[in-house]
Amino acid sequence: MKYVDKPPDGGWGWVVVLSTFLVHVIALGSVKSLGVFYAEFRKVFHESAGNTSFISSVFVAIVLMCSPIASALSNLTSCRAVVMAGGVISAVGLGLSFFAQNIVHLIITIGLVTGFGMSLMYSPSLAMIGKYFDKRHATANGIAISGTGVSMFILSPLFQFLIDEFRWNGALLIYAGMALNGCVFGALLRPLHIKDAGKVEETENETSADSSQTCKSVVPFCQKVLEMFDVTLLKSKHFRTYSVSLFVLMLGNSMIYVHIVAHAQALGIEKTKAAFLLSVMGIVEAISRAINGWLSDRLPVRKLYYFMVGCIGLGICTIAIPNSKTYTGLVACMVFYGISSGTFYPLIVVLVRKYSGVSRISGGLGWAFVFKGTGFLLGQPIAGKHCQPYSK
């Protein structure tokens, strides 16, 4: 492990950015590209929109809500080992999905097993960027998470092609082989320890004092668990408020990815063109994330306000999509959606770091993603129940 006085803001950190970018291509991009499989699953298993959407909602919820476990394992071992283990578990889950005979099987293998593997790859890689970068954190994070948009542009039409050529289960088996590359991505995450990491912001010091008082009143085992999962972060008013805002944001944000393809097909749009909508949003979002991450580090605007502008744009677009009845209108919505999403996404981790402190960023990401995951878990089935009358 390498010891430094402060984040290097470069050097091997750019390799860590590359690794996290590729994790987002394979892991997080699949979250938003599963809408292509959604229409196929409904047709093959003759299930309702609400029941079928549970595959994607459980998958995303597990990816995010298991982040505290991933953070705890990273503290016990290393981010490198956890990400590599996640690649193996993800591949196993996707491989077992090849034999699915019903939706429940897919909820278990894709939603639970693969979701847990992806979770082990996700938050530890983002935490490593927070350790390698300080002043250029938003720029580095924006480049890394733009992998999600690139993935949507590539994976959505690729998944549709694989489904047409090898059926849905063959496509999942090929994707299992792609997920194994997580072992390579994890190997690039060189451990880094910051000597003065204990000197963090005031909000962290307050919660650290609460932690010491809490630990005195519990048995040693419970004390170890509290420290490992960093539960006392939830006592910070600023961190708690920000986490609740992520829950509300993702409650609405999650609805689009899984339902947009089915919504377009219900309007009479051909399957390949419907799947291309995700690609349009993906490439716009990829460019927007990188640009806005760079701009937020340089413009004289508070990052919290920058974040709020993206949230407002996303809300406007979410209202416009159900009222767009033509393919041109849907494409325009996807472009605006990608721009808005790309405005706030680079700042999610940056604000978590602000409210938790660099030394507790792993725990902060874990708990923030629990709130995000809860929003994803509830948002898609709720939208599925309301859209059923339109998709018959």
Look up residue 135 and give its DSSP letter.
T
Please state, in angstroms and rounded to a whole number, the distance separating the CA atoms of residues 234 and 242: 11
Pick the CATH number of 2-390 from 1.20.1250.20, 3.90.1580.10, 3.40.50.300, 1.10.490.10: 1.20.1250.20
Query: Which residue type is seen at 312?
Result: I
Confidence (pLDDT) at 58 = 84
CA torsion 281-284-285-291 (nearest 10°) is: -170
> Do residues 338 and 285 make contact, with C-beta atoms less than 8 angstroms apart?
yes
3-state class (DSSP) for residue 199:
coil
Confidence (pLDDT) at 207 = 42
Please state, in angstroms and rounded to a whole number, the distance separating the CA atoms of residues 341 and 348: 11
Query: Which residue type is seen at 261?
Result: V
CB atoms within 10 A of CB 236: 21
What is the CA angle 370-372-377, rounded to 5? 90
Please state, in angstroms and rounded to a whole number, the distance separating the CA atoms of residues 242 and 233: 12
Pairing of strands 2-4, 192-194: parallel
Which one, of 303, 316, 304, lies nearest residue 253 by Cα?
316
Confidence (pLDDT) at 387 = 56
What is the CA angle 13-18-23, rounded to 5? 120
Please state, in angstroms and rounded to a whole number, the distance separating the CA atoms of residues 306 and 323: 27
Query: Which residue type is seen at 7?
Result: P
Confidence (pLDDT) at 149 = 73
* 3-state percent breakdown (helix, strand, coil) of the chain, nearest 5: 85, 0, 15
> Do residues 369 and 123 make contact, with C-beta atoms less than 8 angstroms apart?
yes
Please state, in angstroms and rounded to a whole number, the distance separating the CA atoms of residues 20 and 11: 15
Could you read off the pLDDT tens digit of each residue along the chain, which spans 392 residues? 556 667 788 888 899 999 999 998 887 767 667 777 877 888 888 887 777 878 877 887 788 888 888 888 888 888 899 999 999 999 999 999 999 999 999 999 998 999 999 999 988 998 889 888 888 888 888 888 888 777 777 887 888 899 989 999 899 999 999 999 999 999 999 887 776 554 444 333 444 444 445 444 546 767 776 667 777 788 888 888 999 999 988 888 777 776 787 788 888 888 778 878 877 887 888 888 889 888 888 888 888 899 999 999 988 988 888 888 889 999 999 999 989 988 888 888 889 888 887 777 778 888 888 888 788 778 767 766 665 444 44
Confidence (pLDDT) at 32 = 65
CB atoms within 10 A of CB 339: 21
Burial 258-268 (b: 16+ CB within 10 A, else e): bbbbbbbbbee
pTM above 0.75, yes or no: no
Confidence (pLDDT) at 93 = 94
Strand partners, 192: 2
